[in-house]
Chain A
């Protein structure tokens, strides 16, 4: 089918302005948040209704045209990168909050609704939607489901998978699946879990029912500075050993502290090797008790300086620095590349040391921000895309970091997804049996492989060609030998 024929067929389904095919109209869709990868699609479609999506899928299915879903395009792994011969299906126009049931604590929303818009809409009931990715003002709830996104509060309140109850999903042939329910569990296999984090590979999510939870009465933050990263890591373990699950627990290393302090003066200690932010939320009594405990644990763990937020403004100021880590990286360097490995927390010091060593080796600076509570590390590699070869070196450096995370018993992605970016590292994280099973799962939903082709799961052929060695959950031959 020619482009012209395809556009004509799409015009029969959608109003003219909802079908884009001129190069300048396609340009804004050529990449997601990972701009190192760019590709123009054949066509972009902007449907308003589920019915239109059904027809688009039926058309693509009948004519074997690849379909790539896109929410807000804030993804950091190239998941929404267009396919050169494909249709890019934007869910942005499906942006309605359909129903709010405050007593049952649920909201039914369309996939293009922004994450933060849900919490804003239900605030009047004293409720909110818990997962809060840093991109929450922009990212869509459909994208959150497709990536199983997290936020700084997910140790206590869970990831997307813990906070949704029901989905409507269209398979590639336009068939609608109702997955989950308004009950706390549902009949059959847990397809809700399978769909969450499936990166647009299994179906198009057209409706999401999210769980809402009561806003805590109070939140308070302890900020502790340490002269040694290892001590900060131990402080995290000590908080948990004391039976406390903080609402948030974030760590920044020295270079991050300096970058953000320069950017917005959050009041961070510039002599510190690491700063830990530890938040408590709940009832007034609970928070008062917990903050007292956290304070003394920080003291015992050797903190060089400890401050407790005295009011809401101060709490937000302490957080502001952490939240500005990415823009701050953008200030100190023309480009930065965000990694997303997760490790068992006890391996933090080893992994940070390894990153430092790699940083010297590659001659590239690296800032480390860390969801310390759940072991999710975000190294930000600073580079300059205009210097020939720097992007390639950066990617290689990043790949090494991910391999190190696997060797430490962790994973190549905690919340950003595999997408296009980490497809090679999948060969190291999984063996051929697991990869074959992933392809089989994909085939159960999408036998002809038209949804988001080439992403998330590498072909066995690709892995064989790479010659990458699968590392078994940190169990490695000669594990005792130093590697970084």
Chain B
């Protein structure tokens, strides 16, 4: 039954490649807002949700393999039953978010700063390339250096290199105990403190600075968390879990706005960024969400991120979006173009959604 679906996808891809007609790969459609607006009139929709289900999950191996169309919520619920989690806390942005969309966008949530990003937990993938070939890279084991790491290359590629069929992920036990502490302070001090604490063996699993208050989540054995709480001070927040959920899913008040939302991913120690609008900081200062009017020039925002050894993405905008992702320098763009050509010679997968050049 499952093979029938793969054969169907493959046939769709082969036909599209022959006619050079773009395919828009769609999982739950929850991250529709993300990436360039690239949907053409004649584009064909490739819905990946038919290929869903858990293929293999053995908690003591710390590995789960699932079909790309599996709802992220279902996958996380299964892990939770066994006291485990996706350590990178991917945002869902909607009930129907799929594993494929999660990996293709490569987004990670608050725990990223301590545990690692989506790409850090991908062990293997099965995918269909632009010729409709069914390929498997990596595997279901923790360490594997046979062949180039094509699996991780898929993470954050926005579906432009292939249709993900299956993904194997490393999972981790949920921490037995968590608390959130908060402390008011100014932004410069918060940036300094977050980075200082990150240089110490403290069980900090998430950081957020918003509206003059620094929030820290501590995770681990209760004894260790309590000991760290004494070292750090601050006041314990009652609804810690909801708070982090609101940061992860951008349902926090900060994000409720029609303005442009920019995502600056920069060196964590960068001093406060003085741009019009308001900001929310995560990842010890390595991630800065900027809400501002469209009148703030994108040139200055791009330059600011670049000067801070990072990059910036126009994350949400109500207008038509193009050039959402940070421009690549010519040598890098050339390698991107060549790789795209190898995986998708007819240029049919989500053309333009990532970069207008491919």
Within A418-445, the residues touching B (CB, 8 Å) are 418, 422, 426, 429-431, 433-434, 437-438, 440-445
Assuming the contacts A176-B331, A285-B223, A414-B141, asked whether A193 and B117 have C-beta atoms less than 8 A apart, the reply is: no
Q: Is A264 an interface residue (CB 8 A)?
A: no
Give every chain B residue within 8 A of A437 (Cβ-Cβ): 129, 135, 137, 150, 342-343
Q: Does B149 interact with chain A (Cβ within 8 Å)?
A: yes
Q: A216-B201, A415-B143, A457-B147 are in contact. Are A161 and B152 (CB under 8 A)?
A: yes
> With A104-B269, A285-B223 as given contacts, are A188 and B286 in contact (CB-CB < 8 Å)?
no
Tell me which residues across on chain B come within 8 A of A176, comparing CB atoms.
Answer: 331
Q: When A194-B152, A244-B173 are in contact, do A184 and B112 touch as well, CB less than 8 Å? A: yes
A34 to chain B, nearest CB (A): 15
Q: Is B1 an interface residue (CB 8 A)?
A: no
The reply to whether A154 and B147 form a contact with Cβ atoms under 8 Å apart is no
Q: Which residues of B contact A175 (CB under 8 A)?
A: 331
| Nearest A residue to B312, CB-CB | A187
Residue B311 contacts which of A125, A181, A430 (CB distance < 8 angstroms)? A181
Stretch of A222-230, A307-315, A404-412 contacting B (4+ beta carbons < 8 Å): A404-412
Bound-state CA distance A216–B201 (Å) is 6
| Chain B stretch 143-172: residues in CB contact (< 8 A) with chain A | 143-150, 152-153, 155-157, 161, 172
Most buried by B among A201, A417, A431, A440: A440
Assuming the A-B contacts A194-B149, A286-B203, A286-B220, are A240 and B60 also in contact, with contact meaning beta carbons closer than 8 angstroms in the complex? Answer: yes
* Most chain A beta-carbon neighbours within 10 Å: one of B113, B116, B176, B335: B335
Q: Are B156 and A189 in contact (CB under 8 A)?
A: yes
Docked CA distance A458–B134 (Å): 20
Residues of B within 8 Å of A182, CB to CB, are 266-267, 309-310
* Contact status A104-B336, CB under 8 Å: no
Q: Is B145's CB under 8 angstroms from A415's CB?
A: yes
B59 nearest CB neighbor, chain A only: A241
Name the CB-closest residue of B to A410: B141
Contact status of A433 and B133, CB under 8 A, knowing A194-B149, A289-B221:
yes
A244 surroundings in chain B (CB, below 8 A): 173
Known A158-B120, A194-B148, A194-B149; contact A188-B310, beta-carbon cutoff 8 A = no
Q: Which residues of A contact B22 (CB under 8 A)?
A: none
> Is B146 a contact partner of A413 (Cβ separation < 8 A)?
yes
Which residues of chain A are near B147, meaning CB under 8 Å? 418, 426, 429-430, 434, 438, 456-457
Interface size in chain B (residues, C-beta < 8 A): 87
In the complex, which residue of chain B has the Cβ closest to the Cβ of A447?
B338
Nearest to A209 among chain B residues (CB) is: B309
Cα–Cα distance between A176 and B334 once the two chains are bound (Å): 12
- Kindly name the residue among B143, B173, B202, B327 whose own CB sees the greatest number of chain A CB atoms within 10 A: B143
How far, in angstroms, from A188 to B228 measured CA to CA in the complex? Answer: 38
- Cβ proximity bits B280-313 to A, threshold 8 Å, 1 near / 0 not: 0001001100000000000000000000111101
Is A384 part of the contact surface with B, judged by Cβ < 8 Å? no
B198 at the interface (CB under 8 A from A): yes
User: How many A residues have CB within 8 A of the partner chain?
Assistant: 98
User: Is B120 within 8 A of A162, CB to CB?
Assistant: yes
* B329 on interface, CB distance cutoff 8 Å: yes
Tell me the residues in window 205-243 of chain A with beta carbons closer than 8 Å to chain B beta carbons.
Answer: 214-217, 237-238, 240-241, 243
Min Cβ gap B133→A in Å is: 5
Closest residue to A435 on the B side, CB-wise? B147
In the complex, how many angstroms separate the beta carbon of B242 from the nearest chain A beta carbon? 24
Number of A-B contacts (CB under 8 A): 269
Please state if A411 and B265 are interface contacts (CB–CB under 8 Å).
Answer: no
Those of B323-358 within 8 Å (CB) of chain A: 325-329, 331-332, 335-336, 338-339, 341-343, 355
Contact B309 A181 (CB under 8 A): yes
- Are A473 and B136 closer than 8 Å at their CB atoms? yes
A183 at interface, CB cutoff 8 A: yes
Select which of B63, B195, B202 is within 8 A of A104 by beta carbon. Answer: B195
Chain A 375-386 interface 0/1 with B at a Cβ cutoff of 8 Å (1 = within): 110000000000
The reply to whether the CB of A197 lies closer than 8 angstroms to some CB of chain B is: yes
CB atoms of A414 and B267 under 8 A apart: no
Distance (whole angstroms) from the CB of A229 to the closest CB of chain B: 17
Alpha-carbon distance A468/B192, docked complex (angstroms): 58
Q: Determine the chain A residues whose CB is within 8 A of the CB of B129 once the complex forms.
A: 433, 437
Q: How far is the CA of A176 from the CA of B330 in the complex (A)?
A: 11
Whether A344 pairs with B156 at a CB distance below 8 angstroms is: no
Query: Does B142 lie at the interface of the complex (its beta carbon under 8 Å from any beta carbon of A)?
Result: yes
C-alpha gap A147/B148 in the complex (Å) = 10
Q: How far is the CA of A445 from the CA of B153 in the complex (A)?
A: 15
Q: Is the CB of B176 within 8 A of A185?
A: no
List B residues 267-287 near A (Cβ within 8 Å). 267-269, 283, 286-287
Q: Which residues of A contact B332 (CB under 8 A)?
A: 177-179, 188, 191
Cβ–Cβ contact A189 & B157, under 8 A: yes
Establish whether residues A183 and B266, one from each chain, have CB atoms under 8 Å apart when the complex forms.
yes
16 A–B pairs (Cβ distance < 8 Å), ordered by A: A103-B269, A148-B145, A176-B331, A183-B310, A186-B265, A186-B311, A188-B355, A189-B339, A194-B152, A202-B148, A245-B172, A344-B63, A374-B141, A414-B144, A429-B147, A457-B147
Residue ranges of A at the interface with B (Cβ–Cβ < 8 Å): 101-105, 125-127, 147-148, 150, 154-155, 158-159, 161-162, 175-179, 181-191, 193-194, 196-198, 201-202, 214-217, 237-238, 240-241, 243-245, 282-286, 288-290, 342-346, 371, 373-376, 409-418, 422, 426, 429-431, 433-434, 437-438, 440-445, 456-457, 472-473
Report, nearest first, the 5 A-B pairs whose CB atoms are least far apart. Answer: A193-B152, A183-B310, A243-B173, A374-B142, A182-B309
- Beyond A183-B266, A433-B133, list 20 extra A-B contacts (CB 8 Å): A103-B196, A155-B142, A178-B329, A178-B332, A184-B287, A190-B106, A194-B150, A197-B148, A198-B148, A214-B198, A215-B201, A344-B141, A346-B58, A374-B143, A411-B145, A415-B143, A431-B136, A444-B335, A444-B342, A445-B335
